[in-house]
Every structure is written in C-alpha cells, then in structure tokens.
Amino acid sequence: MSSYETLKELAESRWSELTKGSAPWIKIGMSMCCGQASGAYETLGEIKEVLNSLSIEANVSEVGCLGICYASPVVDILLPNKHRAVYGNVTPDLVHDLVDRCLVKGKIPKKNLLGVENLGTNNLQGLPDFNELPQIKLQNRIALRNAGHIDPKDIYQYIARGGYLGLNRALTDLKPEDVIEEIKSSGLRGRGGAAFPTGVKWSFMTRGEKPKYILCNCEEGDPGAFNDKSILESDPYTTIEGMAIAAYATGSTNGIIFIRHGHDGPIDATEDAIKQAYEVGLLGKNILGSDFSFDLEVSLTGESYVAGEETALMEAVEGKRSMPRARPPFPAAYGVWGRPSTINNVKSLSYAPSILEHGSDWFSSIGVNKSTGTAIICLSGNIKYPGLYEVPMGLTIGDVIDNIGGGVPNGRKLKMLQTGGPLGGVLSSDSLEIRLDFDEMREAGAILGSGGIIVADDRTCAVDLTRVLVAFCQFESCGKCFPCRLGTTNLLEIVERMSSNKARLGDVELMKQIGQTMQAGSLCGHGQLGFNPIESAMKHFKEDWSACVDEGKCLTGSCNKPHFTPINTRPFAEAPIKNTVPIQIANQVGEKNE
Amino acid sequence: MSSDITPKIDPTPDSEKQDLKDRINKAVTTQKRPTVTVLSSLLSIEDELGYIPDEAISIVAEYNNSTINEVWGVASFYPNFRFDPPSKNTVEVCWGPSCHLVGATDVIKAVLDELELDGEGDTIDKIATFKFNTCLGACPQAPVMSINHRMYGKISAKQAKSHILELRKNINGSDK
Ligand SMILES: Cc1cc2nc3c(=O)[nH]c(=O)nc-3n(C[C@H](O)[C@H](O)[C@H](O)COP(=O)(O)O)c2cc1C
Ligand code: FES
C-alpha cells in the first residue's frame, strides 16, 4: 500500500528523466485507429534497428493516438530541453535518413514534418508550429489528454501528468454524496448514446446492498466509431480511475470493463493497466490507504452489436446470448447477476478524473447549453483528414468537417453525413450549421451518439448508403423481438430491391409500416431506431429515392455496383442440425437446477 | 456422454480424440480472466483450437453447471464461433459504411475472385477462410482488410489481390 504522495514523487522523478534527461524520447503511434493498419509495426522495427546500428541511446515508446490518424505512422521525437518534432507518414524507408539527420546531425529535416514545439533554446524559425495545426489547435483534450503523450504500459507516466489527483481528492476530502453532486453540477451526460445525466444515474445506486457493480461499456460495435477503443488503448488509466471514482460515489465493490473479443490492442492495454494499478495499490483493498476497496476485471463478449445495449451487456457478462431484458426492473435495482449495477460508456467514465481534479465549474464552462464538456469525434469516409478529434461541444459540424477534416477531397462535393452510428440519422449538406449539442442534433433528426461522423461525397447514392446501414441493422438484430428480427430482414429485402432498380408498387408504404411496427414492438433501441436511417435518408434525398424507386435508374450509379453482405446472419442462425439434442438428454448432463 | 444420438462413422483415431479433449479441458480450466462463464469458456476454446468441436459442448456444459442446449444456444449466437476446423489463414474485409464509401466493394470483389469464393467461407484447398467484418476499428485507414488479424489500411483492389497472392506463395513455399 502506498500513499498518493510517494507515488507522485516516484512518478515525477521518472517523468523528468524522460523529458529532461539527456536521451531523446521517440514515440510512435501504434493504436488500432492509426498505427496497425498503416504499417507502424514495420516503422517501429526499423527505428529500433537504425538506433542500434548507429549506437544511439534513446527511449522508444509505443504510444496511443494523437488524433491525427490521417498522418500515421506518426513519429514524435522529443529532444529534452530543446524541441519536439512530429513527423507523419513515416514509412520504413524514410527512417534511416530521419534518425540520422535528427539525432546524429542535430537537424530538423522538413520532409514529412508536421510541426515542432519549442522546449528550450533552439531557434525554430521558419518551421510550422505543431500546436497551431488546426487538427491540434481546435481540439480540447480532456478524456484524451494523455493519448499519444504517455506510454500506456507505464502507470507512473499517467500519475506524473496529474493522474489520480481526482481520486485522491475524492478519498481524502469528499463524501460519496459530494462526488455525485460534483458530477451532477458538471452537467456530464452519458456519451454512450442516450445522453442521460451521469450524476443522476449514479444517484440511483446509493440504495441497495453490496456487492454492487460498476460496468464500463467498450463494446463499441458501431462501424465508424473507434473512440472508446482508442481511449483504452492510449490511456486506460483514465478510465480505470474514472471507474474507481464512480465506485466510490455509488458504493460499488466490483467493476467490469467489457470489451469485444478480438480487439487485442485495447484488451491488452487495459489488462496490463489493471495489473499495474493493483501492484501500486490503486485497485484492490484499502486504496491509497483509505477504507475504500474496489476490484476490477475485464470481460469479453463475442461479436454482437446489441451486446452494447445495457441489459444485453449484462446477459453477455453472465455468459449468455446478448439479448436485452425487459425494463423495469432497471439495472440499479436488478443488474448483472441480479445485483445493483450502473453502466457507463468509456468516455463518460474517462471524464470523471478531470472533473474531480479541476472542479465541476471548469467542466461546465466548456460546451453549450445542456451539453457540457467535449465531443469525441471519429471522422471518417470521404474526408481529407480522417481522425479522432476531441472538440468542445458547440462547435458546428461544418467546423469539424472543413476546418479540422479539411473538407471532401478530390474536388468532390459534400453530400451526406451519417452521425452517431448506424441507428442515427443521415443528414444532408444543409446541416453544416448544426452545433455539436445533444439536443440540437436530436431536433435535426440525428444523434451525436457515440461521436462517429461518416462523410459521403456526391458519388454515392443515398439509397446505396442506406442499404449498407440497413444490412448492418439486419445482420446485428439479436432476434429476440420479432418486429426487429423480421422487420430488419424485410426492410433489407425492400432496399435491396430498390437499389437493384426492381422496386415494386407500394414498397415505400410497406417500409413505413414495418418501421412503425419495429418502433412500437421492440424491447431495445436496435429495433426502435432501426428505421431511422431509411426515414432520414428519404427525407433529405428525395431525388435519389425517386430515381431508384420510381424511374428504376440510379442517379450516381453507385447502386449498380455488386452488393456484398454476409448471408449467414444472426436472426436466423442455428446450431448445426446434427447436434441438436432431445431436451431430456441435455438436462441429464448439466443437471442445472432452475 | 456424447452429444450425438445417431451413430456416425468417425475416422479420427482414439489417441487424437483424447488429445483434442485434453486441449479443450486445458482451455476451459486455465482461463486467464477471473469470471468464468459459458461464453468465456467457449471463447477460450476458440482461441486455442480455432473452432468448437462437438466434444467441447458437453465439457463446457459440465464445467459451468449448464446444459448442452444452453451452450449450443450461446455458441450458435455469436459469429465468432465455427464448428469445423478452420483453414490455415483468415482473411477479413470490412464492409462498414466508412470503408464502403471509399471502395470496400472493389476490395471485396478482388479478394473473393482471388480466393475463388462467392461469399463467406473456406477456399476449396482450405488455404483461407474469408469473413466479412462489420468494422475493424481502423476507419481512418479505410478501406481495411486483415490477414490473420494483421490489418492493412488504405488498400486498393490491386494491393488486396497481391496480398492474397503473397499468402498463397508463402503457404506453397512452406509446404515444400
Ligand atoms: C443497440 C444498442 C447498442 C448500443 N451500443 C452501445 C455501445 O456500443 N457502447 C455504449 O457505450 N453504449 C451503447 N449503447 C447504449 C447503452 O445502452 C447505454 O445507454 C450506455 O452504455 C450508457 O452509458 P452512458 O450513460 O455513459 O451513456 C447501445 C444501445 C443500443 C440500444
Ligand atoms: S468501417 Fe471499416 S474499419 Fe470501420
């Protein structure tokens, strides 16, 4: 068991070795959203080899995402007391020259240079300032404050940058009720989709007996969203500290972080971080010498989008099919294994440490109206600078797309925006004035949801994009409620017909009826919102629909390309016939007493 | 207890069967994470063997105090699981909207052509299994494909083809 002060002291001395010592510190972005797919492994290997062959002593760290995924592989070279130079698109063939010029000859080559930061006395005139890049300058990083700056495998780097000040304050100065009050007055709302006030959700948990659970939702099945995974991969400690704060506030004894099987980057980073937190006494019994104890583990789910829904997630934690439960009872009364549980998104929990560190007034001063703090935007699709950008709420969608994202490339025109995951709506290019604000976006018929913004240019037909979204909804329906199971399947059939120019009379009317039935007759948001993509696309892109449906001719031609979607979809998945077992035999085996 | 009620001719020698059972048992009993459930046991077997053999179902049922039908219920629900031995390699291409907008269709077509498949499944020579993925989590690098969980971003149909060709070449090389 260690006190916060001893940990902090140790952390600071290690940090100053890295940032003020004599050896350069080279950081390479390796997270899923940037590094892996762009070949950062090869770059990393090459860097190590070159350093070796030139006998240069340097600290090399694999770090998370700076947000500028478009420029990956990103190599961030820090020369203590001199400067920091950030290079983009560093392919292995560039490494030797770069290392030689930066570290042997002491130059700052301009090739592939994104920008520099002055850390001392060097003369950097004529070189671009890294922090003045719009992609950096327009960000206000809170949950991502350490992403790309610290090594996710070293808890001391997190502590050195102010980590655990928040939890320490809670444990020494605040009662659990005070923590809930602080979160309430910060105005923090859930970032998982429903935007429910986090403090209010926590206050439901004060009743009920132990053991109680805090669940962290990193299922993140929305295509086009990668922010939860990136947070856990770049800085798992902020989520872990956030969970400890939530547990203290709600009187919870156990926590589970829930990640999809196969996403090895976030899984490994999180498990390693949990192990370290136990080792230094930031998890487990009597945290920081207080009488507060909290245990945390990781649980994996199979591939299932609906597993992200809060009650389905509890079923998956219990090892069953991830199908939603009827509510009430709500999770705060009857959650995982029937225990009182609170479930929050990774982003929501990752704000808690900063809110406790800087106070609720600081947090609520960022943002607009009832949407305080920042939005963590995943920008992708037909956009010049795709990436992961944490920006203050209240910025307009146009600011994000034009000023940060650099607009639509290749001289094309912006046509459609798909926000908040496949169940959110499709918006047109008229929507650039809409601000990033939960309520304003909802009024416009879209949701901010998980923060994904997918940009489509004028080569894509609205019917074509809608088909992909509906195919996703169909593929991911868990099959529990028949309006959703059959409805999404019928909708896909109809949209497939439309995009193959074979629409039938009355198809549009039929789709609307199905949509209404799904909304009225489904247990969870998957069925209730499953008609959203079609409805909003039909509203904003009348010409596209009438061309494909009435005239049988796609305006852009994108519908005429071959369609590929998985055939073996979940609503109709079944065990291989040979293995079905008469129920008596099955019961003999396990003898489960119900 | 076997999960089969109709007898079938099984060419697998007994020693191999025992070996398989041992591996299943080991995967189930030595799980890394503290909370053990039907799902976690199945995932652990899938990680070890790449598929869920018939024998695994009753072992998982017994270990978790569950029933064969419940275990089948979970195993058939998640697309992670397959029930026959996998091919040597797994090729996945993302068909999510971000990838779709920047040319995933062409990549999928090229990969399917090169593997001589018309959808998800194993190639005839069992060199590769093709799967669609709803989002590989690297949307800024779209379109994305992965070969044996190593991701490749910003790929063209041509590059995708050459990745598959290279895969074929490596396999043929290592077989000799
Ligand atoms: C079909 C469906 C999928 C969902 N997927 C996710 C998800 O992947 N991640 C997430 O955090 N919330 C997801 N949610 C929302 C959760 O049910 C829940 O509202 C959220 O995790 C609560 O966290 P928050 O209060 O911090 O927002 C999903 C909801 C539905 C209906
Ligand atoms: S949509 Fe293809 S990687 Fe996310």
pLDDT band at A590 (very low <50, low <70, confident <90, very high): very low
> Do B94 and B56 lie in a common domain?
no
pLDDT digit string (tens) for A531-543?
999 999 999 999 9
CA–chain centroid gap for B119, Å, is 15
Decide if B153 is inside a domain.
yes
- The pLDDT value recorded for residue B11 is 61
pLDDT band at A567 (very low <50, low <70, confident <90, very high): low
pLDDT band at A587 (very low <50, low <70, confident <90, very high): very low
pLDDT band at A491 (very low <50, low <70, confident <90, very high): very high
Q: Which two tokens stand for residue A473?
A: 């909804």
Residue type at A30?
Answer: M
Domain boundary among B77, B104, B130: B77
Query: For chain A, what percent of residues have pLDDT higher than 70?
Result: 95
> Do B54 and B93 lie in a common domain?
no
3-state secondary structure of B18: helix
Q: Which two tokens stand for residue A276?
A: 């370290």
- The pLDDT value recorded for residue A209 is 83
> How many angstroms separate the alpha carbon of residue A305 from the centre of ligand 1?
10
Q: How far is A11 from chain B (nearest CA, A)?
A: 29
Q: Are A252 and A223 in contact (CB under 8 A)?
A: no
Residues with CB under 6 A from ligand 2: A 223-224; B 94, 96, 98-99, 135-139, 142, 144
- The pLDDT value recorded for residue B4 is 43
pLDDT digit string (tens) for B25-55?
999 999 999 999 999 999 999 999 999 999 9
Decide if B45 is inside a domain.
yes
CATH number reported for the structural domain that contains residue B121 in this entry: 3.40.30.10
DSSP string computed for A437-469:
-HHHHHHTT---TT-EEEEEETTS-HHHHHHHH
> Do B61 and B131 lie in a common domain?
no
Q: How far apart are alpha carbons A117 and A87 in whole angstroms?
A: 12
Domains of chain A: 15-132 (3.40.30.10), 155-364 (3.40.50.11540), 368-457 (3.10.20.600), 462-593 (1.20.1440.230)
3-state secondary structure of A250: helix
DSSP string computed for A297-344:
EEEEE-S-SGGGSHHHHHHHHTTS---PPPSSSPTTTS-GGGS-EEEE
- The pLDDT value recorded for residue B141 is 95
Q: For the residues B83-100, what does the mean pLDDT come to?
A: 92
Point out which residues pair with B128 in neighbouring strands.
B89
Which residue of chain A is at minimal alpha-carbon distance from B72?
A: A575
Cis, bond preceding A329 (omega within 30 deg of 0) = yes
pLDDT band at A291 (very low <50, low <70, confident <90, very high): very high
> Do B54 and B127 lie in a common domain?
no
Decide if B144 is inside a domain.
yes
Point out which residues pair with A24 in neighbouring strands.
none
pLDDT above 90 for A124: no
pLDDT above 90 for B9: no
Decide if A564 and B95 are in contact by the 8 Å CB cutoff: yes
Decide if B5 is inside a domain.
no
Residues of B in contact with A583 (CB under 8 A): 69
Decide if B62 is inside a domain.
yes
ipTM: 0.91
A312 CA closest ligand 1 atom index: 17
Q: How far apart are alpha carbons A41 and A92 in whole angstroms?
A: 9
Domain range holding B96?
A: 89-172
- The pLDDT value recorded for residue A582 is 43
Query: For chain A, what percent of residues have pLDDT higher than 90?
Result: 82
Residue type at A258?
Answer: F
pLDDT above 60 for A585: no
- How many of the other CB atoms lie within 10 Å of CB of A297? 15
Q: Which two tokens stand for residue A146?
A: 């350490």
Decide if B77 and A304 are in contact by the 8 Å CB cutoff: yes
Q: Which two tokens stand for residue A16?
A: 């100053």
Site from B134, B144, B145, B155 to mutate, A interface, most A CB atoms within 10 angstroms: B134
Q: For the residues A203-210, what does the mean pLDDT come to?
A: 84
Cis, bond preceding A409 (omega within 30 deg of 0) = no
CA–chain centroid gap for A570, Å, is 24
- Overall number of domains in chain B: 2
Q: How far is A564 from chain B (nearest CA, A)?
A: 7
pLDDT digit string (tens) for A378-396?
999 999 999 999 999 999 9
DSSP classification of residue A401:
I
pLDDT above 90 for A61: yes
> Do B71 and B93 lie in a common domain?
no
Cis, bond preceding A328 (omega within 30 deg of 0) = yes
pLDDT above 50 for B5: no
Decide if B37 and A586 are in contact by the 8 Å CB cutoff: no
pLDDT band at A569 (very low <50, low <70, confident <90, very high): low
Decide if B6 is inside a domain.
no
Helix-helix angle A176-186:A346-358, to 10 degrees: 100
Q: How far is B66 from chain A (nearest CA, A)?
A: 5
3-state secondary structure of A199: helix
Q: Are A400 and A374 in contact (CB under 8 A)?
A: no
Of B3, B112, B153, the CB nearest to A38: B153
Decide if B95 is inside a domain.
yes
Q: How far apart are alpha carbons A292 and A367 in whole angstroms?
A: 33
Site from B82, B100, B106, B109 to mutate, A interface, most A CB atoms within 10 angstroms: B100
Q: Are A77 and A102 in contact (CB under 8 A)?
A: yes
Chain B, 14 to 73: residues with Cβ < 8 Å from chain A are: 33-35, 37-41, 43, 54, 57-58, 61-62, 64-70, 72-73
pLDDT above 80 for A584: no
Decide if A304 and B78 are in contact by the 8 Å CB cutoff: yes
> Do B48 and B122 lie in a common domain?
no
Q: Are A448 and A436 in contact (CB under 8 A)?
A: yes
pLDDT digit string (tens) for A432-475?
999 999 999 999 888 888 899 999 999 999 999 999 999 999 99
Q: How far apart are alpha carbons A438 and A431 in whole angstroms?
A: 14
Residues with CB under 6 A from ligand 1: A 190-194, 196, 198, 201, 217, 219-221, 305-306, 308-310, 343-345, 348, 524-526
Decide if B155 is inside a domain.
yes
> Do B121 and B166 lie in a common domain?
yes
Sign of CA dihedral B27, B33, B37, B40: negative
pLDDT digit string (tens) for B134-144?
999 999 999 99
Decide if B141 and A69 are in contact by the 8 Å CB cutoff: yes
pLDDT digit string (tens) for A313-364?
999 999 999 999 999 999 999 999 999 999 999 999 999 999 999 999 999 9
Q: Are A502 and A555 in contact (CB under 8 A)?
A: no
Q: What burial class does residue B113 get, using C-beta atoms within 10 Å of its C-beta: 0-12 exposed, 13-18 middle, 19+ buried?
A: middle
pLDDT above 80 for A123: no
Q: Which two tokens stand for residue B117?
A: 């498949």
Average pLDDT, chain A: 91
Q: Which two tokens stand for residue A192?
A: 């998982």
Counting ligands in written order, the one closest to the CA of A225 is 2
Q: Can you give the length of chain B in residues?
A: 176
